[in-house]
Every structure is written in C-alpha cells, then in structure tokens.
A and B are shown apart, each in its own frame.
Chain A
Amino acid sequence: MILDGKVPSGPLEQKWENHVHDSRLINPANKRKFRIIVVGTGLAGASAAASLGELGFNVDVFCYQDSSRRAHSIAAQGGINAAKNYRNDGDSVFRLFHDTIKGGDFRAREANVYRLAQLSGNIIDQCVAQGVPFARDYAGYLDTRSFGGALVQRTFYARGQTGQQLLLGAYQALSRQIRDGKVQVHTRTEMVDLVLVQGEAKGIIVRDMVSGGLSAHAGDCVVLATGGYSNVYYLSTNAKGCNVTAAFRAYKKGALFANPCYTQIHPTCIPASGHYQSKLTLMSESLRNDGRIWAPGGKGDKRPPSEIPDAERDYYLERKYPTYGNLAPRDIASRAAKEACDEGRGVGATGRGVYLDFAESIQRLGKAAIEERYGNLFEMYERITGEDGYSTPMRIYPAPHYTMGGLWVDYNLQSNLPGLFVIGEANFSDHGANRLGASALMQGLADGYFVLPNTIGTYLAGTSPGAVQKDRDEFQAGMAEAGDRVARLLSINGRKTVDDFHRELGHIMWEDVGMARSEESLKRALAEIPKLRSEFWESVKVPGEAADFNQELEKALRLADFLEFGELLALDALHRDESCGGHFRVEHQTEEGEALRHDDKFSFVAAWEYKGNGKAPEMHREPLTFENVKLAVRSYK
C-alpha cells in the first residue's frame, strides 16, 4: 500500500493557512457534546488537552505519573528553536525549515516541517504570555543563543531548565481547564490498550496504578502523546517510566508504526558505573566547545589520566575530523567513542567511557572562565561521579536519548486509524532520521497548542458525539484481554526479575541495534530477541497481586511490549539498507566514516503494519518528495 500523507496542495508557504481554512469547524455550542481522550501530559499532551478544553471540548487526560507536571519533557535542558529573527542574523521560517530537513538527513515530510517552522514563533509568544520566565537581556528583550546544526541564534531558553519551564506553562494552562471542569485528569493511570469500534479509535482501557483496577473510557476520538521508546535500550536518558506500550498497543490494533529504526544516541552522557546502573544522565553537549575528547592510545591502559603523557593519548575526533574536531555531529562523535571502547581503549571501572578533558581550556582561559560557562554541569558531574572535572578529565559515554520514529500520521496528525491522533515524540513526522537540538520542545508544543486543535475538527465533524459508550462489547473484550495479560504475568512465578530481562534486552539492542548496525548484527538481534521473549513468558517473576499498587507488574507490562517492539525496530533497521541520520549501517559509509544515504532506493517512510502474532509485519511506503530543498550530502570534515 502506498500511503497518502494528505499534504494539501498549493505553494509550501500557503499550505497550512489554506488547510486550516478548508478544515471543518464545529459549532461552539456543539463542542461540549464531544469527549476527547488524551494520553500523556508532557509538552504535547498537556498543551493539547489544555487547548482543546479552552475550545470547549470535554477532555479526559491520563498520565502514569502522580502529577501531570512530572512528564519527562521536564528534563529537557537546552532550549526551544523559533524563527523569530529577533537577531537580524538572517533567520527565517524557510531557514529553520531547511535546517530541520537537512538535520533530519532528508527523511522527513516537507510540508510538516515547514508548518512547524511557521508555528515556532507563536509558541514563544504563547509561553511568554503564560509567564514562562525566558532569559532576557538587560533591556528586557528575549535573549537567544546558538545551538547545534544552525548558524543563526534562534534558541530561546530558561537557564538550563527550558523543558521544565515550558512544561509548567502547559501544566498551568491544563490546571485552569481542570478547575473549569473542561478537563478531567487521571493521574497514576496507565493506558494498557486502545479500543476500536468499527475500525475507529473510540476509547482506551486503563489500569489504576493504586488500586490495580482496570477500567474502560469511551470518547469521540483518542489522542496519544506518550513520548518515545529509548527505554527499549534499558539504559537511556529517559525517565524510568517512559515506555512504548500505548503506541505499541495501537500498532497491534492496526495503527502503522513508522521508521522505528530512527533513534538518536547522545554523545555526552555520564557513563554507567556498574551493573546496578538504572539510567543515564545527559550533560549538555555545549561541553564539547571547550573540552577535548581522547582515549589512551594503547589497549588496557589503566594508568590515571594524569600519568598518561600527551604523546600516548589519542585525540581521535581531532585526528579523524581535523576541521570539526571535537564538534563533530552527535552520531559521529558517539560512534567514535564506542569504537575506541570496543578496541579495549575505554576508561573508567567498566571500560565504557572516554575522557573529556578541560585541562587545555583551563590553562588558556582560566578556571573561572570555564566555571562561568559550565559550572552547573561540573557540579552535576561531581554529584553523580564524586569526581572533580576541573582537576581530572570527565568521563563520558553515548546514551540513547530520543526516538524520531513513531506512529505514522498524516498532515492532520491522524494515524491510519480514523479517530486516532498522535502528537509529539510519539509520532514520526517532523525530525526525519535525526533531530536537531532544541527542536523536540518546538514540535511537542506546535502539535499540542496549534496543529491538533485545528485539525481534529474535520474528523469530529463527521461523527455523532457520544455515539459510542463503554458498555459495548469492544470495551468488555479489551478489559478481559488486559486482565488476562496481567493474570498471566503474575502466574509465571519464574526465577528472573523484570529488570534482569530488561537489562538483557537492552544489551542486545545496544550491541546489535545501537549506533553502528550491520546485516550480521541485526540478524543476530532478530534471532535473539524472540528467544528472550519466550524465556520472559516462561520464567519471569512478578511478585504481588493484580489488585494492588504493584510496581513490578507495571514494569512487566511495559517490558512485555518492549520485547516485541525491539524486534520491529531491528527489522526496520535491517530493511533500511542505507545509512541516514541516527541510523548507521556500517555497510554504507563514506571513506570518512559518514552516513551514506541511498536516495534512489530509500527516500520513503517505512510504515509497518501488524499482521498477527508470529507473522511478519507488512511494510507500507510513503514516498518522500522534495520540491523545495535540494538533497545534499552532509559533510563535517
């Protein structure tokens, strides 16, 4: 099947405006007859739920956290891009669009990305109006800074906590709708299945994480804003609770999953310190502006860094990429670190780390200058590792950070299942094969504040509000199926814990489906994952009861889906026999070791359809055509 992204016709600049004009509207008096289900309260979910409530719809919003303020958008540090051109430095909507398409290695849909750039300025205005304390200059104007992949200063920020401040803005807007009774919030409530009625998304099954009770919720449509799937790698920069379940359950009900192999690995994270490691922490990659990355030249060199003379150090990025040096792009820097460690030249107790050394910068600029630039990061590093990054080099290692793939959506952000909308990191639409810094916040909020509220009406206008109630068989069947899954997990009572299995899955994914993939490694993963999955269903040990607050059961339900999803990710990576953005196939690289695309064969979105248990999923294509940009090869030499 060739997929239709339903991109409006007309010139790029006018597509969105024309489309909004052509969209169907709902009489304000009728909006209150509709009920919309939103799952997730990160930037996308909270902004969507608040905006839909303001429009007059009734909204039920769900999150697994104990408060809607805690979704993982809160951890974003750097900033948010917007093509305001306040700096008069040559920025424009077209330039932001172009940077994002190029950064995504020409694997995103042009019209969606252009719309994102067009809406970027409105986001800043909306957040300012909400009281988000963006950084200001001494005259009181909004301050901006530069960020990776761009030559203009278009990144707005609130100290190192931009994600937190934007999320609190959306959370507060949501809180106002809760007070007004337009939105009902269900915290500590996790979606365990999607309900279709005659092929359309009309509700969800959820588990109350305090009582353990399952319940059904019916609505006129369902919006998923459930984030990414980096935790398929076990260790990632995501929060512990982040999971793929909502998106994967939708996939199993017929929603197409697009480009799952597009994952982003961030180069400057704090390495794992031991087997017990539970998550990884990211440090802003701005550190690479002044730090030099190196590994010992010889294998198994256990000397402390201060005793390794300069001649015996390998500043490998400077050696391989003389022009960009330590500022080589994320994927290149990440792969080079792993290669050094795979060669036995890694540092730290686990041998999975390389040095990020500030000695030279401190000598050149003085400690005070480095402290002023990165003081909070050195503090964070010391809190976690107990080491002083000023006197001894920091240790860093790459970590899974963001996932560009997600459920397939058309220009309206509607999946192939009518009534199922997918926004934010959970969809696939805007970042192609690689996301630029400060773009995730932009996309989440554009989707939630401005796109979805303008596109959802066309679907709703064609339905009768309240037509589906939760007493229907489809809801009863969904409840029964979820109940069976819970009962089955609790009945196994094997000998390995959920974490044991998750670590093993993470190991397979990291080694074989990580940042350097080959046909051989992917086929190995495709053989190992099903074995691990069978073992999980035979010998996992989930203590406690179904009708109780049971954190091990929560983890088991999520891992069960990751164990199936990991296979889909590997399959997509095997099928995409090219390198692009975050997807690097070792068979396809330039002499300099950079990703080599094959536009003639792979200039399309791969959207996978579930065909039943034990059957191979079927791939559908959405061809990508570029009418407004010229496809080019990246070069950072």
Chain B
Amino acid sequence: MNLTLFVWRQKNAKEKGRMERYEAHDVDPDMSFLEMLDVVNQDLIHNGKEPIAFDHDCREGICGTCSLTVNGIPHGEQKRTTVCQLHMRHFKDGDSIYIEPFRARAFPVVKDLVVDRQALDTVIQSGGYVSVSTGEAQDGNTLLIPRHDAEYSMDAAECIGCGACVAACPNGSAMLFVGAKVASLAQLPQGKVEAAQRVCVMTETMLDQGFGNCSNHYECEAACPKGISVKFIAKLNREYLKSLKE
C-alpha cells in the first residue's frame, strides 16, 4: 500500500519545528510501524536527505523507549500496544498518517520525534524505591505477602515508563505514572514503612518537574500500552491524604 506521512521535523530543542510531507511506497502490511519508518529513512538517506530521528530500542513493547504520537494518539489507536508493536495492517492504502513526538511541557523535544523524559527519572529518584541496601535483606519467605496484594502490586508495576500517559493528558499530568509506582510499593509490606514520605516527595517532585494535575479525563489509561488502570491514581490520592494525617 501507499501512504502519505506528515512528520514533525525539528532540528533541536531551540529551533522551531514543522510538519513535513513524505510519501511511503509499497508498504507491506506485515511491517511494524517503526519498520515502515526505517524504510522511509533508507530512502531519505539514499536521496541525500537527513533521516527522521525517532527513539526505539527493544521493539518488543517492554523497554518503553518508543514515543510517537500517531494521528494524535500516543502510540497510535490500537489499544494496549506500543508503537513498535503496531503493525501496518491496521492502515489502508491511501491513508494519511500524522506522526508527532509525545507532547508535554515536561518532555522537551530533542530532535524530530525524540523527546527528553528525564523528568520521569527525576520523580523516581526523589523516592520511588524501598530504601534497602544490598546485604540487608532477610529470607524472602519471612515476609508473607497475600497473593492478591502481590498481584495488585504487579498490575501497577507493569508500567514501562514510556510517558504516553503524560502525552495523552490535557494537563500533561504524570499521575498515572506516579500512582503506579506509589501503589505498587504501598501495597507491599516492605514498602509501607516509607509510604507516607514517599508519596509526599514524589508528588512534590512531579509538580516541580512541570507535570500537571489529574482532572479525570482518563486519557492516560486509554493510551497506556500496558493498560495500567486509573484506580492507581485514586490510590495515589488516598495515600497522599493518609500521609497528611501522619
């Protein structure tokens, strides 16, 4: 099939960007979206033009590196799918596709479709962990964890940190990302000791980093390639309230 692509090109963080038009010919329906861009890039290089920069690494939907907005939706329209796992069979001949970077105040563009998501790391660094050093652990089975709690924690821990939730939110909020980490740890006995302090400092850091607040649009859950539930935002709010009482 043949497609028309409109792609965001931006030389670097300082210069202005613009949409550029490209034609993609003979696109195979079995290609992944990123393989389609690979082929477009090979053509650009052969024609002496600069290829389109985009982030990617594992190409199997787990590393969280790829970060394209396809037709206005982070990772594209297919549910629970990173853009590296989106395949061209979901498009049809003659389609126009608009490809932009993840857009959020906290994610400045580095180049073309590549953004800087350092802010998410900064939030984790502020307190998204259990403060245990190597060697301090006791036997793993001395800490019994009800299966339900382990599963709940795992549901939240599946977050791949891609930032689609932020890009999908009209407020550029990272509350699904923060909520998933806070909930995952707060549900486990080993994470409870620091739970109050953790939720406060992570929430503060989140705001400092330029992320907005949740206003219940639920776009984050819809865009999340791992289907992380907004119930973890509710949990984040509950943990935050609890921390104020302490």
Contacts and interface: CB of A to CB of B under 8 A. Distances in A.
Contacts of B147: 136-138, 140
Interface in A75-128: 75, 84, 86, 122, 124-128
Given A136-B150, A279-B59, A70 B140 contact: no
B161 A69 contact: yes
Given A68-B121, A210-B110, A497-B46, A128 B137 contact: yes
Given A126-B134, A161-B158, A383 B145 contact: no
B207 interface: no
A273 B110 contact: no
A51 B134 contact: yes
Given A128-B190, A164-B62, A239-B57, A276 B35 contact: yes
Contacts of A66: 55, 65, 116-118
B110 A552 contact: no
Contacts of A241: 57
A264 to B, nearest CB: 18
A497 B129 contact: no
B20 interface: no
Contacts of B34: 278
A499 B134 contact: no
A277 B39 CA distance: 10
Interface residues of A, number: 79
Contacts, number: 213
Interface string A523-560: 00000000000000000010110001101100000000
B80 to A, nearest CB: 9
B138 A125 contact: yes
| B-side interface size class | 35 or more
Among B126, B146, B154: residue with most chain A CB under 10 A: B154
Among B50, B138, B157, B190: residue with most chain A CB under 10 A: B157
A69 B158 CA distance: 13
Interface stretch (B24-32, B91-99, B210-218): B24-32
Nearest to B124: A175
Nearest to A47: B134
A135 interface: yes
A620 interface: no
Contacts of B126: 179
Nearest to A176: B129
Contacts of A175: 121, 124-125, 128-129
Contacts of A72: 57-58, 63
A383 B129 contact: no
Contact of B128 (A124, A172, A383, A544): A172
A617 interface: no
A240 interface: yes
A281 interface: yes
A140 B134 contact: no
Contact of B59 (A67, A131, A239, A541): A239
B58 A386 contact: no
B173 interface: no
A172 B57 contact: no
A240 B57 contact: yes
Given A175-B129, A544-B50, A65 B57 contact: yes
Give 4 nearest A-B pairs by CB, closest first: A140-B144, A172-B129, A129-B137, A128-B140
22 contacts: A54-B134, A70-B64, A75-B62, A125-B139, A125-B140, A133-B153, A133-B184, A136-B145, A139-B144, A140-B145, A141-B141, A172-B124, A175-B129, A273-B30, A276-B36, A276-B39, A278-B32, A278-B38, A349-B30, A383-B81, A386-B30, A541-B45
